[in-house]
Structure 1
Amino acid sequence: MATPPPPVLRPAPRRRLPVRKWLALVPLVLVAGWVAWNWPVFASGLAQLRGADPGWLLAAAVVTVACWVPVCLLRQGAVLEPLPAGRLFASQVAAGSANHLLPAGLGAHVVTLRFMRSCGISATRACAALALYSLAQPIGRYALLIALMAASPDALPLGGLMPAERGGLAVLLLVAVVAVAAGVLWWVRPLRGAVRDFLATALTDVRALHARPARALALWCGAVGFPALQATVMVAVARSLQVPVPSLDIALAYLAASAVAGVVPTPGGIGSVEAALVFALVGAGSPVVEATGAVVGFRLLTVWGPLLPGALVLAALVRRKVI
């Protein structure tokens, strides 16, 4: 009788490390570090808002939540494919938190790029949509600023927001960056071909989007609606603190200051927006204390308030492989 062969000993399967589980904690850790680093600003903002009118503050909070709607419209208007509304909204809540961790909106772009890729959009077309978003957003802001200035030319003197020497330095820096980019493209032939293909794809998508009225309307309504709602939040916070400046001047101050602060690519505009906005409000006739309180309160609502919910949503989206 033949003896049975000895059992084959197989190595125990390796336990896979829960990488995605740990990645889901990264946004919370980064936000916690960011909060700890900027805690004095948060504490001073709470102190400034203790004597504010609660009705105006509630209105400002409601409008702050509504600011995500035009952002979603703008994102949807930049792509031809219909994006799932619920996941789109969640991704933009998460992107708002990531935006304060990296400069020049890179955090929000990374989150949105991952979301679009999960929706089946190719990498080239997703990058083209991000480029269109980045172009439409400042155009909408400048268009709104110019329209308000044309409606009331003497409302607010904006000439002192950026001194002439800083304006000239910004122009020189922009020219230098463009020259360096052009030189790199000229010498690196494969990169030049990739950029040419990317631009061809982007222009094709832009023409196709503007051939569809619903997409074009979503794109430009979102581009104008977001800065309009943000300016409304600024006005509501200023009214809650009884800042002695007309509402139109406050809205113009916010739009002009955010446009000027965009020259300095800090994470979430932190530091540059505050300085420019306080300067604009003081130039419009507000005392320094009231202007500082209104600006800090505005940033408390639009930056600090959505930060923790956005980090939680970002962690959940990472865990569920949505991004």
Structure 2
Amino acid sequence: MTAPGTETTAGTQSSPPTATALPAELAASSSVVHRPAPWHLAVLLAVLLGGAYLARRHWPALESGAGRLAGADQGWMLVGATAALGTWAASALAQQGAVVRRLPRPRLVAAQFAASAANHLLPAGLGAGAVNVRFLMRCGLPAARSAGALAVKAATGAVVRLALIALLVPACPGLLRLPHLSTTVLACALGAVLLLAVLLVTPWWPRCRRALTTVLADIRALHARPARAAALWGGSLAFAGLHSLVVVAVGQAVGLPLPPLQVALLYLTASSAAALLPTPGGLGSLDAALALALTIAGAPGAAAASTVLGYRLLTVWLPLVPGLLVLAVMVRRKAL
């Protein structure tokens, strides 16, 4: 996962990297973490082109939604902005829970803020992953342990989202409808997935087994410490809940005619589906999925568009420049 020699350099605290060695180390790690697969770039381009086509086709609704957002209720928008600020603290709490070593709190929160900005510049969350890996390595963790901590945090977040969806589905009956698929289609899809897994995993199985063993050992060590387990699961739950609260608050501010529980369920479902597409920060994929879900649930197109625009404004566009500035300062101070 990392270039030869990177783990030794990051894991040894007695001899910190010099200014001369730092650029080479950064380049080596970046070439591994940042380099997307060709199919990632193809899917990214297709999603962005599709988003541009939908935006052009539904431009009147987007324009009306932007105008509606300009006259939104300021109190609810303040609630959404406060929830958006809390998402970085929740992310920092979950990241601390994913490692046994105690991390410096101010730098940890700053790293999550910087990672959220970097995440909107590279596909499939590579920006946030690179920032967090570099931060954990600077805190003394080896590269393998740092990557394992990110895997633990991501897996916990996915489990929490699925659990929240399962809890909200009974409270919103009939809102989510699974498409009807024949047994033949399901069997063919399962066979294709298994064949692809065999073709991709078999050559890398020894290395994957070692990585999986390390991650499982980390999970056992974390759950042996109740404080770390509580931080991991509590931070992941708070992160998903606060993002849902941002969407609910913006929806209330623009008069979205849907109950809050339904809005939260639609957001969690749309964001889980959008995570499968490698767009930077879910831009395009999440916007289209969430707007479509809100519209199908009965919201007017203008209200759905203004809800998505307001959510993006609070979680992406307003924090983007400050987040990039924090990222630059942390790099300059060699905190990354």
Q: TM-score, normalised by structure 2?
A: 0.76
Aligned counterpart for 1:257 among listed residues 253, 257, 270: 270
1:241-256 mapped onto 2 (5 Å cutoff): 241-256=254-269
User: What's the offset of the Cα at 1:197?
Assistant: 2.6
* Alignment partner, residue 210 of structure 1: 223
Q: Which moved more, 1:275-284 or 1:196-205?
A: 196-205
Match of 2:149 in 1: 129
* Superposed displacement of residue 252, structure 1: 0.9
C-alpha distance 173-139 of structure 1, shift in aligned 2 (>3 A):
farther
Q: Within 2, Cα distance between the matches of 1:176 and 1:265?
A: 22
Partner of 1:112: 132
User: What secondary structure does 2:169 align onto?
Assistant: helix
Tell me the CA shift for residue 238 of structure 1: 0.5
CA distance in 2, matches of 1:290, 1:124: 45
Taking the TM superposition and a 5 Å limit, the aligned residue runs for 1:150-299 are 150=170, 152-154=171-173, 157-159=175-177, 175=194, 177-185=196-204, 192=206, 194-299=207-312
2:91 aligns with one of 71, 74, 80? 71
Conserved 8 A contact 1:158-1:280: no
Find the aligned partners of 1:294 and 1:135 in 2 and give their Cα distance.
Answer: 28
Q: Which amino acid aligns with 2:278?
A: P
Would the aligned equivalents of 1:139 and 1:223 in 2 still touch at CA under 8 Å?
A: no
In 1: Cα distance, 2:95 partner to 2:282 partner: 20
Q: Secondary structure at the match of 2:280?
A: coil
Q: How far apart are the structure 1 equivalents of 2:68 and 2:310?
A: 7
1: CA distance between counterparts of 2:149 and 2:329? 24
Aligned CA RMSD, in angstroms, stands at 2.9
Aligned pair partner of 1:95 in 97, 105, 115: 115
Q: Deviations over 1:169-219 (max 9, x none)?
A: 987875565233213325xxxxx2x33332222111110100110001111
Rounded to whole Å, the distance in 2 between the matches of 1:72 and 1:288 is 35
Label 1:174 to 1:78 Cα distance change in 2 as closer, same or farther (>3 A).
farther
What's the offset of the Cα at 1:123? 1.1
Aligned length: 281
CA pair 80-242 structure 1, distance change in 2 beyond 3 A = same
SS of structure 2 residue aligned to 1:81:
coil
Aligned residues of 2:247 and 2:307 also touching (Cα < 8 A): yes
Q: CA deviation at 1:269?
A: 0.6
Contact 1:170 1:263 (8 Å CA) reproduced: no
Larger Cα Rg: Structure 1 or Structure 2? 1
- Structure 2 CA distance for aligned equivalents of residues 128 and 321 of structure 1: 22
Partner-residue secondary structure (3-state), 2:335: coil
Question: Aligned partners of 2:111 and 2:67: how far apart in 1?
Answer: 32
Percentage identity across paired residues of the two chains: 44
Is the CA contact (8 Å cut-off) linking 2:66 and 2:306 kept in structure 1? no
Structure 1 unaligned residues grouped into runs of 5+: 1-15, 24-37, 187-191
What TM-score do the two structures reach when normalised by structure 1?
0.79
Q: CA deviation at 1:279?
A: 1.4
Work out the CA distance in 2 between the residues paired with 1:268 and 1:242: 26
Question: Are residues 1:304 and 2:288 paired?
Answer: no
Q: Equivalents in 1 of 2:180, 2:135: separation in Å? A: 40
